[in-house]
């Protein structure tokens, strides 16, 4: 609850003029992000607002999405140029708000589903992770998914790979902060050339569609897995046709794909530009082009499709 006294204290602690803070609170109340109690002249978050805006582990925590949007605004000139030239904008060329916002947006979904839903849905994988397995997490970004797996399966060796050095450095610091030194490591490497063989599990979280040569990445996964290893591919939920994706979820993912995912792919070799709404049929084609014979839908949420691929 923020009344006049609390607003004055908050303004003091944040070095913010109280009149600006009050006007901002009014804007948030008008937009429905906070509620206003006229009798007490105070602002507060109701349970639903707090669930979406204040709990970073909530599966519907949305401030990360706002930060992603802010990065797109800051990159408008680059994206406009890409539209006109047909060239791309690499992930590393975006404003840093994109890297931070992406983790803040996706991490709550991983917290809610990775260990309780997605990994248990893979055939025999959870038991191997508990007893000790080799895991490669590709396109790990700031390491949210990698760290969750390392924390849950202390007997397993978990390595996160990403081509973006700045993100890898952040991931290393996150691991140190979590007390995971020695149990997880992060390395700079692209999806088509990360080192290591005989991995028991390779994971891609919301990144295959951003790659210029996703079929090439699939081939490298195939070559890096053990004979009975599994590839867990997590991608945005989508149908196989445009009309199937004309809904609120598709609206978010098509917009993000236009401004971030498609330019990222176009900035790389081949530039396949799968897009964030590729759909299961197209994803299966890419996975099978890499050599995999067995592909099945292992799990799903309203926002994600989880495929399990094997030799």
The CATH superfamily label for domain 63-310 reads Vaccinia Virus protein VP39 (3.40.50.150)
Closest among 115, 72, 106 to 91, alpha carbons compared: 72
The structure's pTM equals 0.91
Whether the pLDDT of residue 31 is over 70: the answer is yes
Read off the pLDDT of each residue in 177-195 and give the average, rounded to a whole number. 95
DSSP code for 16 = -
Read off the pLDDT of each residue in 49-60 and give the average, rounded to a whole number. 88
Whether the pLDDT of residue 134 is over 70: the answer is yes
Whether the pLDDT of residue 205 is over 90: the answer is yes
Both tokens assigned to 242: 């445009």
pLDDT on residue 161: 98
Q: Please report where in the chains the tokens 């992603």 appear, as a residue.
A: 68
From residue 75, alpha-carbon distances to 93, 254, 286 in Å are 9, 17, 30
Residue 3: band (very low, low, confident or very high) from pLDDT cuts 50, 70, 90: low
Whether the pLDDT of residue 150 is over 90: the answer is yes
Read off the pLDDT of each residue in 207-229 and give the average, rounded to a whole number. 98
Strand 35-37, strand 42-44: pairing: antiparallel
Whether the pLDDT of residue 60 is over 90: the answer is no
Q: Please provide the average confidence, as pLDDT, over all residues in the chain.
A: 95
Whether the pLDDT of residue 127 is over 80: the answer is yes
Residue 5: band (very low, low, confident or very high) from pLDDT cuts 50, 70, 90: confident
pLDDT on residue 181: 82
Read off the pLDDT of each residue in 42-46 and give the average, rounded to a whole number. 92
Task: Give the span between the Cα atoms of 29 and 235, in whole angstroms.
Answer: 35
Closest among 143, 131, 86 to 271, alpha carbons compared: 86
Task: Give the span between the Cα atoms of 211 and 215, in whole angstroms.
Answer: 9
**Contact predicate 183/150, CB 8 Å:** yes
**Contact predicate 304/277, CB 8 Å:** no
pLDDT on residue 11: 72
pLDDT, tens digit, for every residue of 71-95? Answer: 999 999 999 999 999 999 999 999 9
pLDDT on residue 85: 96
The residue with greater pLDDT, 199 or 11, is 199
Residues 6+ apart with CB under 8 A from 197: 223, 224
pLDDT on residue 308: 98
pLDDT, tens digit, for every residue of 246-287? Answer: 999 999 999 999 999 999 999 999 999 999 999 999 999 999
**Contact predicate 2/49, CB 8 Å:** no
**Contact predicate 112/59, CB 8 Å:** yes
Burial grade of 112 (CB within 10 A; 0-12, 13-18, 19 or more): middle
Q: What is the location of CATH 3.40.50.150 in the chain? A: 63-310
Task: Give the span between the Cα atoms of 207 and 108, in whole angstroms.
Answer: 17
Read off the pLDDT of each residue in 283-298 and give the average, rounded to a whole number. 98
C-alpha torsion sign, points 236, 222, 267, 185: positive
Instruction: Name the least confident of 2-6, 62-66, 99-103, 274-278.
Output: 2-6
Task: Give the span between the Cα atoms of 4 and 22, in whole angstroms.
Answer: 9
How large is the greatest C-alpha to C-alpha distance in the chain, in angstroms? 68
**Contact predicate 189/195, CB 8 Å:** yes
pLDDT on residue 58: 86
Three-state secondary structure call for residue 133? coil
Cα 218-220-221 angle, rounded to 5 deg:
65
DSSP 217-283: HHHHHHHHEEEEEEEEEEEE---SSTGGG-SHHHHHHHHHIIIIIHHHHHTSSS-----TT--HHHH
């Amino acid at each position: 609850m923020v009344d006049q006294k609390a607003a004055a204290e908050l303004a003091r602690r944040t070095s913010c003029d109280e009149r600006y803070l009050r006007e901002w609170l009014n804007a948030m109340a008008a937009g429905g992000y906070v509620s206003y109690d006229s009798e007490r002249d105070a602002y507060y978050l109701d349970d639903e607002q707090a669930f979406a805006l204040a709990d970073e582990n909530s599966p519907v925590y949305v401030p990360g999405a706002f930060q992603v949007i802010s990065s797109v605004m800051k990159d408008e000139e680059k994206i406009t140029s890409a539209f006109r030239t047909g060239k791309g904008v690499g992930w590393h060329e975006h404003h840093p708000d994109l890297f931070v916002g992406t983790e803040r947006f996706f991490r709550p979904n991983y917290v809610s589903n990775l260990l309780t839903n997605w990994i248990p849905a893979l055939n025999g994988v959870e038991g191997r992770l508990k007893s000790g397995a080799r895991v490669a997490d590709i396109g790990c970004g700031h390491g949210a998914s990698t760290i969750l797996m390392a924390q849950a399966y202390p007997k397993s060796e978990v390595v996160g790979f990403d081509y973006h050095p700045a993100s890898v450095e952040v991931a290393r610091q996150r691991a140190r902060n979590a007390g995971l030194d020695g149990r997880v490591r992060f390395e700079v490497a692209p999806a088509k050339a990360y080192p290591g063989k005989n991995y028991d599990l390779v994971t891609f979280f919301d990144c295959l569609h951003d790659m210029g040569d996703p079929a090439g990445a699939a081939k490298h996964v195939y070559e890096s897995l053990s004979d009975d290893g599994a590839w867990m591919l997590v991608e945005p939920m989508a149908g196989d046709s445009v009309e199937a994706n004309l809904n609120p979820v598709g609206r978010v993912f098509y917009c993000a794909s236009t401004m971030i995912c498609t330019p990222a792919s176009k900035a790389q070799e081949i530039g396949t530009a799968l897009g964030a709404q590729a759909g299961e049929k197209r994803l299966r084609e890419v996975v099978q082009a890499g050599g995999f014979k067995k592909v099945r839908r292992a799990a799903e949420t309203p926002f994600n499709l989880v495929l399990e691929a094997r030799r």
